Amino acid sequence: MTNETDTPAPLYLQGRFAPVPEEYTAAELTVRGTLPPDLDGRYLRNGPNPLPGEDRGHWFTGPGMLHGIRLRGGRAEWYRNRWVKTRELEGHPFVREDFSVDLAAVPANTHVIRHADTVLALCEVGLPYWVTPELETVGPYDFGGKLTTAMTAHPKEDPVTGELHLFGTGFAPPYLTYHRVTPEGELLDSRPIDVPGPTMMHDFAITENHIVWMDLPVVFDHTLAGRGGMPYRWAEAYGARIGIMSREHGSTDVQWFDVDPCYVFHVGNAYEDAQGRVVLDAVRYDDAGFRKVWGDIGGPTGQSTPSVPGVPNGQVGVREPGHTQAPSVLYRWTLDPVAGRVTETQLDDREAEFPTHNETLTGRRNRYLYTVNGDGIAKHDLERQTGDVHKTPGSRYSGEAVFVPASDGTDEDAGWLMSLVSDDDGAAGELLVLNAGDLSVQAVVELPYPVPSGFHGSWLPEPAEQG
């Protein structure tokens, strides 16, 4: 409750974004509906959760908190939430007084994955943090000393080779570095990639034979550094381009395609079509859409003139008709490496974010994508160009919908969607489990505490040998 002299809390600290004040543990949760018996594992989700009374100045900068639900035998055995206890949470600054960077002092608040039996909490400005399956923090993880850059929050695991592809960005050269990790968890390959300057490169894509880069006009502004918040702003003069790079060992050559100015937080998927073109599906923001969202979550909304050179002129993308001005929409770029041409197409009119897919098809052609918006969870049929929505009632909002394949499924959409649901009125959260085929409700796990809206999560199935 505030009085007339109080300053209202920023949007990212109130309603469904309001942080929880402590860590909780609860056992034997109530389940409405029926949890599929082959859901044996943990659903984990990451997101920012500032300490009580704390305002970091931007939604993206709060310390990370993991939320986890253990499912087994049709039961929800436990829920727990734990801060990721990084050096930053303990009071160590990310940027030191001499302007050097402590890669272990990060909020680790963006994503959580498992690779080579190691669970990692991720944040793109520093090292990942190793956590246990019970959400306790072990410490920073640098792949045996081989990772010397930051690590993206959106690495891509190839479902065929088992390799993990990732990148790191920096405020000083090299601004972009590509890394490749074996299925066993060994970092084998690190290569600097030439880009003009430091941008907020949040995501990327892989195909069977290529890495897909997005060099877009949201740039690091050194004049904002040290003020709190996020020192990035829109700078259209930087240019916007998408690049494809061979996955062959040692490759650093990138073929760039200039596109209309835009920003992409999150990729849906990418693949190579029968003509050898690279198809990239992602959620696209135009200038106005980015500035609106960036301002709501604490970022600067003015233009800046980048202190780096522009990108070389090239073949500008061809936009197909029928575009709308929604802040963020599902979008497709088709990159033709032979013709040196890119075609840009809007796939849906609805506002969208957090695109997901069946990850057994990462880097390969997929038919379905799932996104979320203020109405609920949408399923996009990319072949038929149709969509359906599961609407979330009242003041409840669905988070990212993680696809979990059914153990006996053969169709691409045979499985479930898992989403943590937050409430604008402060009510307790829920784990929503939908049938991915028709978006019907399979089950709802009632959580005993509120869960703030957050970012990304993963389903970690229990290894077969552990029962």
Three-class HEC string of the chain? CCCCCCCCCCHHHCHHHCCCCCCCEEEEECEEECCCCCCCEEEEEEEECCCCCCCCCCHHHCCEEEEEEEEECCEEEEEEEEECCCCCCCCCCCECCCCCECCCCCCCCCEEEEECCEEEEECCCCCCEEECCCCCEEEECCCCCCCCCCCCCCCEECCCCCCEEEEEECCCCCCEEEEEECCCCCEEEEEEECCCCCECCCCCEECCCEEEEEECCEEECHHHCCCCCCCEEECHHHCCEEEEEECCCCCCCEEEEECCCCECCCEEEEEECCCCCEEEEEEEECHHHHHHHHHHCCCCCCCCCCCCCCCCCCCECEECCCCCCCCEEEEEEEEECCCCEEEEEEEEEEECEEEECCHHHCCCCCCEEEEEECCEEEEEECCCCEEEEEECCCCEEECCCEEEECCCCCCCCCEEEEEEEEECCCCCCEEEEEECCCCCEEEEEECCCCCCCCCCEEEEECCHHHC
Distances (CA, A) of 229 to 95, 97, 238: 13, 17, 22
pLDDT at 312: 35
pLDDT at 434: 98
Question: What is the rounded distance in angstroms from the CA atom of residue 160 to the CA atom of residue 309?
Answer: 39
- Could you tell me the pTM of the whole model? 0.93
pLDDT at 94: 83
User: CATH top-level class for 11-466?
Assistant: mainly beta
pLDDT at 229: 78
User: Which of 403, 411, 385 lies closest to 439 in space, CA to CA?
Assistant: 403
For 51-78, b/e burial (b = at least 16 CB within 10 A) is eeeeebebbbbbbbbbbbbbbbeeebeb
Phi and psi for 394 in degrees, rounded to 5?
Answer: 60, -130
pLDDT at 146: 98
For the chain, 467 residues long, the average pLDDT of each consecutive 10-residue run is: 64 95 98 96 98 94 97 98 95 76 94 98 97 98 97 98 97 96 97 97 98 97 78 95 96 97 98 98 96 92 54 39 70 98 96 97 98 95 95 93 94 98 96 98 98 98 71
Q: What is the dihedral sign for C-alpha 123, 125, 129, 135?
A: negative
pLDDT at 224: 83
pLDDT at 429: 97
